[in-house]
Structure 1
Amino acid sequence: MIVEVAFALPTEQKIISLNVPDECTAYEAVIKSGIVDFFPEIDPETAPMGIFAKAIKNPKETVLREGQRVEIYRPLIADPKEVRAKRAAKMKAKKEAEEAAAR
């Protein structure tokens, strides 16, 4: 069956399509894909993975189905909650400054 393995950096991404046997796990597909040759920073033993943006808890036990894409996740650079809070505070300050200038 055909599956894909994907990994992305801010400046580069790679999606590898490969033929795997039935009952292949997400972990096995990552190893077989050879994606670590392109991105040596990936540690398949510890890297969080998902299938079509849905995290999987145990890649070594998650059996793939035809056409699925295993995604290897990298650590976030910034906490999304903090980014949203900073953006909201900035917008609030801008709005207050505009209102003060209009008076």
Structure 2
Amino acid sequence: MIEVEVVYACLERQFLRAFAVPEGTSLRAALTASGVAEAFPELDLATCPVGIFGKVVADPENQLVQAADRLEIYRPLLADPKEIRRLRALKAAQARQSEQ
């Protein structure tokens, strides 16, 4: 058995659980075994993006977890960061123009 940790955060609360899985367990199977789906019924573990230590895993069905891995479940972004920066820059430019 190896120890792993699963983390997930939504706006209202967080999920953090350390537990043991058999060696050779896939990332998706470890997430299912963590109980996160019961704590967050709206979460679709079959399709949500996941990663290990901040790096997205493209194929969680075949990615095996290692001892001490931090398994992360990612939420979709509410807004595109590039678009937010563009709008902020536009607003700042408009504010500078109105000051002149």
TM norm structure 2:
0.91
> 2:87: which partner in 1?
86
> 1:43: which partner in 2?
44
How many residues are matched? 99
Distance apart, 1:34 and its partner CA = 0.6
Q: Gaps (5+ residues) in structure 2?
A: none
Q: Please provide the CA RMSD for this pair.
A: 1.1
Residue deviations 1:28-79, cap 9 Å, x none? 1111001011111111111110111110001111111111111111111111
Moved over 4 A (4+): none
> 1:65: which partner in 2?
66
Structure of greater Rg: 1
Q: Counterpart amino acid of 1:31?
A: T
Please give the alpha-carbon distance, in whole angstroms, between the structure 1 residues aligned to 2:92 and 2:3. Answer: 47
